[in-house]
Structure 1
Amino acid sequence: MIIVLMGYMASGKSTIGERLAEKLNYKFIDLDDLIEEKENASVSEVFKTKGEIYFRKQEALYLREQLQSKENIILSVGGGTPCYSDNMKAILDQKNAKSVYLRASLPTLVEKLMRKKSTRPLIAHIETEEAMTEFIGKHLFERAQFYNDAEFKIAIDNKSKKEVTKEVLKTLF
């Protein structure tokens, strides 16, 4: 089985994915890390040197490769992955895949990302909480239709990583 975790930046996809993989004895794959390994460059370098269109094509290619795997995998995808190249359809059409949206409210995301913005090139330039709220709100509005197509939705607000992990396990099994 392939469990695909999706959601906005800082929704816990990688952390929860690693915990799930450990509990289930599945392989954990972070799609962005895989892209960096295959492209021999960071995601931000790929965006800068080859452009977003190239990045999205490679992202779709590597996603589909992982969806064909016969291994048990927890696959954490980038925040934008479900929104491009019919990726959400590819995930939903895959018989042995289950999709999980780790849903965080706008205030939760703003609070988390204001603390972590120095490690996130996409938002490092955002100075104020108001600007961050506007930036994330616009993205969530654009992406909600894709995220909400996930088979399972788990609210993460005010929950520990341990609680979210337990809830995902309970929901899936």
Structure 2
Amino acid sequence: MKIILLGYMASGKSAVGKKLSDKLKMPFIDLDSYIESHLNSSISEIFDKKGEIFFRLKESECLKELLNREDDFILSLGGGTPCYAGNMDLIENSSSSMSFYLKTSVKTICNRLINEQDKRPIVARIKSEELPEFIAKHIFERSFFYEKATFNIKTDDKIISEISGEIAEIILNKP
């Protein structure tokens, strides 16, 4: 079983993935970290030096590689991963995967991003007062892909252990 966590940046995918990994005793993989190790460069450096198109191609290659593996794991995607290169179709058509959309409000995402904006290439150059509108528009554009997940999990006003517990319960009660 491959458990795929998706959603907008700062929706908690990595934090939930790590907690879920502990609960289910399954390895956790962060797709961005996986890409960074394969390219020996940070996501920001890849965006700056090679551009977003290059990054999206590598991201899709790494996702395919992971989905084709035989082992079980929990995978957190980058915020844009489901929206490019037919990646969501790959996830949907993978017989051994379940996907979870961590649905998080614009307000919550803005509160999380405000102190780490410079570490996020997509929003690094956005003025903080313009961030809510940018995020709302981005989520609107991406929601078509996010909503294709097997399950939607609302994350607002929940702590990491609650969200991971909710996902674990779904997985463990799956017929």
Q: What's the TM-score, normalizing by structure 2?
A: 0.94
> Quick one: distance in 1 between partners of 2:57 and 2:159?
35
Native 8 Å contact 2:23 2:168 kept in 1: no
Offset from partner CA, 1:104-130 (integer Å, 9 cap, x none): 01111122212332433432333334x
The reply on whether 1:32 has 2:41 as its aligned counterpart is no
| Pairing 1:132-151 to 2, within 5 Å after superposition | 132-151=131-150
Aligned length: 172
Match of 2:48 in 1: 48
Q: CA deviation at 1:70?
A: 1.3
Match of 1:117 in 2: 117
Offset from partner CA, 1:20-77 (integer Å, 9 cap, x none): 1111111111010010000111111111211211111111110011001111100001
> Quick one: distance in 2 between partners of 1:154 and 1:123?
24
Identity %: 45
- Structure 1 window deviating more from structure 2 (22-31 vs 116-125): it is 116-125
Unaligned runs of at least 5 residues, structure 2 = none
- Structure 1 window deviating more from structure 2 (88-97 vs 106-115): it is 106-115
Unaligned runs of at least 5 residues, structure 1 = none
The reply on whether 1:105 has 2:105 as its aligned counterpart is yes
| Pairing 1:63-78 to 2, within 5 Å after superposition | 63-78=63-78
Give structure 1 regions of 4+ aligned residues with deviation exceeding 4 angstroms: none
Q: CA deviation at 1:156?
A: 0.2
Q: CA deviation at 1:5?
A: 0.3
> Quick one: distance in 2 between partners of 1:162 and 1:78?
21
| Pairing 1:123-134 to 2, within 5 Å after superposition | 123-129=123-129, 131-134=130-133
